[in-house]
A and B are shown apart, each in its own frame.
Chain A
Amino acid sequence: MPWSDPCDVPGTLRLLTPQGERVAPDPAVPNGEALASLAATLDAERLLAMYADMSLTRAFDREATSLQRQGELGLWPESRGQEAAQIGSAHALAPRDYVFPSYREHGVAHVRGLPVRELLHLFRGTQHGGWDPAPHNFHLYTLVIGSHTLHATGYAMGIQRDGDVGTGDPARDRAVITYFGDGATAQGDVNEALVFAATTNAPVVFFCQNNQWAISAPSTVQSAVPLVERGGGFGVPSIRVDGNDVLACYAATATALQRARRGEGPTFIEAVTYRMGAHTTSDDPTRYRMREEEEHWGQRDPIARLAALLRAEGVLDDEAQARIDAEAAELTAGVRTYCRSLTPPAPESMFDHVYAEPHQRLDAERSWFRDYQSSFLDATAGR
């Protein structure tokens, strides 16, 4: 195998082997035993729910990809391969925690309870947002790489000022998590976010999904050291996890969030995973990626890994699988119908919400546009 598994590096938290067997954590992982026992508290029901969430996310992602292929979406960033990182971390969130995603966090959106079909507005080109962040504490997707990590940090600073950390009251204590890629770690904003978080002790978890590629650039272009080593220089405790191991992702994130909620400050998590598909549907990975590499990671599919565990432990049987498949079919059919129902908004809507209060220039342009549009319609009507 030309590709050694980067998760075999000592100090990487792994609780589930690629074959789906539970393992003891590497002794070099700080607090490995505590993390393992936290993962061990996940009962059969919870594990099955995680498996279902991963499967539904995969099905949704596949559907969105084919909707793009059929011309129904302008673009789609696939999440295939990153389900363990997303579902594992998202299951560690409490309802009052707040999420600042990048643009590929479809699985996190799903776990937060956001109907994933609402993610399509942005990619169908009918809106720049598409959902209300408030009910699910799930912020809008952000396309400018890394900029949202500062928003997450600022939001965490707000929570801290509100006194919503370290009270010991689980109904009150809150934390923030932000998701970004390995490429994003090169941006000034991400580094500045780490500076602010560390020096203010903000309750924020930096969750880096190192999917090995930033479009065509491998992680080595972004960092000369393993990304996990970055955190330390900023004073942010850091941990590296096998991002295709849902148990490890859950345990590391739950621990980091608990730390944050207790008022103990930020944590950096590097989840080493793999982007199994293209960067987006516009990308052509054959120009920069070897098939052997893709095959290597194909054998490390996070969903197959959890399925093997759950089959072995008797949690997943054919009946449960059939139930999940049926749910996936229902979800994707709904997504397809919803997608097609998203028609272009009224052109005049582009003038809405630019400002919270009336604005002379905008009002003038809007009324000019309205007159222009109606002159056009009148001319047609008169014919």
Chain B
Amino acid sequence: MAITTDIQTNATGDAGRPTPSTTTLPLARAINAGLRRALEQDDRVMLMGEDIGRLGGVFRVTDGLQAQFGTQRVVDSPLAESGILGTAIGLAMAGYRPVVEIQFDGFVFPAFDQITTQLAKLHYRSQGRVRVPVVIRIPYGGHIGAIEHHSESPEALFAHTAGLRIVSPATAQDGYTMIQQAIASPDPVIFLEPKSRYWEKGAVELDAEPSGDLHRARTVRAGRDATLVAYGPSVATSLAAAQAAAEEGRELEVIDLRSVAPLDLDSVVASVERTGRLIVVHEAPTAHGVGAEIAAAVAERCFYRLQAPVLRVGGFHTPYPASAIESDYLPSLDRILDAVDRAFAA
């Protein structure tokens, strides 16, 4: 069995294809390249957000794009999230494809109303007559030692709302591909960028067409003893835990969900059918969260194949704590291994 230890390995192309131009980029640059390509290919694509133009965004994800495409296509918006989302809805109705940036996860909430009561529901309310293909890019998650409101994982709050698609790339290749797929989607997409991975480099095929299913999970490490399911920043931690477990003789399968909503449950179920154990890992609090949804769905579908209860490793039911103790809050390699032990003790 080919066991891939590198999170990037599975991202590269099929055998037999002409060798595409592969380059190595950090995740932030890969998303930048994906945005550039989308702007080049479709002049209805436009970017909006606070500080995304001249500054290139606080994480420089949009660096250089305003210089290349001008201030009409890469717009420095007023400091008003509800305004950004509300006008993006109108722009989308006028035929544009707005890609908006929320500066940090904790600042999406002034726009929560526009996202959940308007953006998510227009297609439904108009019986399919009105399309709102808006992409909301949100740098999210912790581990960067930031102050309050700069490290949160709000995905469950959006996942509960029908009408939104929610994805998160864990690799540079996915950053490049998935942002283009998100922009091409006729539905609203919340694009969660794991900020702790922004500077992690990976191979990116710049010429590859963004084909494939945006919502398809991917097995990033094969294993037979238990399944770890993660997305975004937790994929790397889960891979590290699998590596550590392998040294103790346990082969853990690691699935990068890539999509929070919809969930590729078939891939998860297929894995659990083989391994019999499932641990879900995410940074968001476990209470009422994405892990709970997966655990319930898997219990429904694999009850008789499970050899242990589905376990969740995530944040606690507390506000995201001060950075000095964030590592005690976040799912760490040790916490994942502890859950693995519990799954085997069951």
A323-360 interface (Cβ within 8 A of B): 343-345, 347, 349-351, 354, 359
Q: Is B155 an interface residue (CB 8 A)?
A: no
A217/B324 in contact, CB under 8 A: no
B246-295 interface (Cβ within 8 A of A): 287
B324/A184 in contact, CB under 8 A: no
Determine the residue in chain B with the shortest Cβ distance to A287.
Answer: B55
Bitwise interface map of B from 75 to 88 toward A, beta carbon under 8 Å scored 1, else 0: 01111111100000
A125/B54 in contact, CB under 8 A: no
Contacts of A354 in B (CB 8 A): 317-319
**Cβ distance A241 to chain B, nearest Cβ, rounded Å:** 22
Total A residues in contact with B, Cβ cutoff 8 Å:
47
Q: Is A296 an interface residue (CB 8 A)?
A: no
Interface 9-mer from A79-87, A185-193, A265-273: A185-193
- Tell me whether chain B's interface is mostly helix, strand or loop, or mixed: loop
**Among the listed B58, B148, B317, B335, which residue makes an inter-chain contact with A362, where contact means beta carbons less than 8 Å apart?**
B317
A122/B77 in contact, CB under 8 A: no
A187/B324 in contact, CB under 8 A: no
**Cβ distance B305 to chain A, nearest Cβ, rounded Å:** 27
Contacts of A188 in B (CB 8 A): 80, 82-83, 110
B78/A222 in contact, CB under 8 A: yes
**Among the listed B78, B145, B146, which residue makes an inter-chain contact with A186, where contact means beta carbons less than 8 Å apart?**
B78
**Cβ distance B258 to chain A, nearest Cβ, rounded Å:** 28
CA of A359 to CA of B287 in the docked complex: distance in angstroms?
13
CA of A124 to CA of B324 in the docked complex: distance in angstroms?
8
Known: A74-B323, A350-B325. A125 touches B55 (CB 8 A): no
Determine the residue in chain A with the shortest Cβ distance to B111.
Answer: A188
**Cβ distance A294 to chain B, nearest Cβ, rounded Å:** 16
CA of A211 to CA of B329 in the docked complex: distance in angstroms?
37
Contacts of A121 in B (CB 8 A): 322
Determine the residue in chain B with the shortest Cβ distance to A350.
Answer: B321
CA of A31 to CA of B67 in the docked complex: distance in angstroms?
47
A144/B51 in contact, CB under 8 A: no
**Cβ distance B286 to chain A, nearest Cβ, rounded Å:** 8
Bitwise interface map of A from 137 to 172 toward B, beta carbon under 8 Å scored 1, else 0: 000000111110000000000000000000000000
CA of A121 to CA of B322 in the docked complex: distance in angstroms?
9
Q: Is A316 an interface residue (CB 8 A)?
A: no
B328/A215 in contact, CB under 8 A: no
Bitwise interface map of B from 162 to 188 toward A, beta carbon under 8 Å scored 1, else 0: 000000000000000000000000000
B107/A144 in contact, CB under 8 A: yes
A144/B79 in contact, CB under 8 A: no
A346-383 interface (Cβ within 8 A of B): 347, 349-351, 354, 359, 361-362, 365, 369, 372, 375-376
Contacts of A344 in B (CB 8 A): 324-325
CA of A351 to CA of B329 in the docked complex: distance in angstroms?
10
Determine the residue in chain B with the shortest Cβ distance to A73.
Answer: B147
CA of A123 to CA of B146 in the docked complex: distance in angstroms?
9
Contacts of A146 in B (CB 8 A): 110
**Cβ distance A217 to chain B, nearest Cβ, rounded Å:** 5
B54/A288 in contact, CB under 8 A: yes
B79/A184 in contact, CB under 8 A: yes
A144/B318 in contact, CB under 8 A: no
Bitwise interface map of A from 244 to 288 toward B, beta carbon under 8 Å scored 1, else 0: 000000000000000000000000000000000000001010011
Determine the residue in chain B with the shortest Cβ distance to A188.
Answer: B82
Known: A75-B147, A188-B80. A217 touches B50 (CB 8 A): yes
CA of A214 to CA of B322 in the docked complex: distance in angstroms?
25
Interface centre among A123, A184, A221, A343 (most CB of B within 10 A): A221
Q: Is B149 an interface residue (CB 8 A)?
A: yes
Contacts of B210 in A (CB 8 A): none
Q: Is A127 an interface residue (CB 8 A)?
A: yes
**Among the listed A143, A222, A359, which residue makes an inter-chain contact with B149, where contact means beta carbons less than 8 Å apart?**
A143
Contacts of A321 in B (CB 8 A): none
B325/A215 in contact, CB under 8 A: no
CA of A216 to CA of B334 in the docked complex: distance in angstroms?
41
A186/B53 in contact, CB under 8 A: no
B328/A350 in contact, CB under 8 A: yes
Contacts of B199 in A (CB 8 A): none
Q: Is A25 an interface residue (CB 8 A)?
A: no
Contacts of B81 in A (CB 8 A): 187
Q: Is A66 an interface residue (CB 8 A)?
A: no
**Cβ distance A22 to chain B, nearest Cβ, rounded Å:** 36
Contacts of A128 in B (CB 8 A): 147-148, 319, 321-322
List 20 A-B residue pairs with CB atoms under 8 Å apart, sorted by A's residue number.
A74-B323, A75-B146, A122-B148, A125-B145, A128-B322, A143-B147, A144-B107, A187-B82, A188-B83, A188-B110, A214-B50, A215-B55, A216-B53, A217-B78, A344-B325, A345-B322, A350-B321, A361-B317, A372-B335, A376-B334
Rank and list the top 8 A-B pairs by shortest CB-CB distance, nearest first.
A125-B323, A344-B324, A347-B328, A186-B78, A216-B55, A183-B79, A350-B321, A186-B80
